[in-house]
């Protein structure tokens, strides 16, 4: 009988150990699942944070490039005469391509903005000379992680204001060379 009692006690101890082992395995599996869920949630939060930061960065770059266009308009107006009618800025080798190097670089909100200029197809076939008071301006702002924003605008002097002044003064409108007029007589626009 002692053997039977001992045998029952052995079975009870083995069963208790088996149940403790199963409980341990269950706890480890539940912890693993919880850790995986925590990792997935953390990744989602990081991804969302990065996307928000990238969107803010793209927006900042866009507005910096836009401000670069406005800055270029001002500089083109002021430097028209001193740059020989923008000829000093027009260094492109072909009509439809911008030069490799920027005409100048400006800083807007601590972001470098490169300004490129090229002549528009004005019919003279010369990419180094402007004859219609219009040039293409490309502003490129570069941010971190390789992001950039580029804005292109066809900028030129507002000839309608000049032409209306010419009509009032009795001067002929067609074929008038406006480059000899004072630069502050008219502004540069899109």
What is d(CA 122, CA 178) in angstroms, rounded to the nearest whole number?
Answer: 15
Question: Does the predicted model carry a pTM greater than 0.85?
Answer: no
d(CA 62, CA 69): 11
pLDDT tens, residue by residue, 56-102: 999 999 999 999 999 999 999 888 888 888 888 888 888 788 999 99
CB atoms < 10 A from the CB of 102, how many?
Answer: 19
Ranges of residues in the chain whose predicted pLDDT is under 70 = 1-18, 159-190
List the domain boundaries for the chain. Answer: 66-189
Contact between residue 90 and residue 127 where contact means Cβ atoms under 8 Å apart: yes
């Amino acid at each position: 009988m002692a053997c039977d009692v001992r045998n029952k006690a052995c079975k009870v101890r083995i069963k208790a150990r088996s149940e403790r082992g199963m409980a341990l395995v269950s706890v480890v599996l539940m912890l693993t699942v919880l850790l995986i869920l925590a990792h997935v949630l953390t990744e989602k939060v990081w991804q969302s944070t990065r996307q928000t930061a990238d969107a803010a960065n793209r927006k900042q770059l866009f507005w910096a490039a836009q401000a670069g266009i406005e800055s270029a308009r001002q500089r083109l107006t002021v430097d028209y005469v001193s740059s020989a009618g923008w000829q000093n800025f027009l260094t492109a080798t072909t009509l439809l391509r911008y030069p490799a190097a920027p005409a100048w670089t400006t800083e807007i909100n601590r972001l470098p903005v490169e300004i490129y200029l090229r002549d528009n197809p004005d019919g003279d076939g010369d990419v180094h000379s402007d004859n219609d008071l219009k040039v293409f301006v490309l502003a490129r702002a570069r941010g971190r992680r390789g992001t950039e924003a580029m804005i292109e605008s066809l900028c030129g002097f507002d000839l309608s204001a000049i032409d209306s002044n010419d009509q009032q003064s009795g001067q002929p409108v067609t074929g008038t060379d406006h480059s000899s007029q004072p630069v502050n007589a008219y502004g540069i626009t899109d």
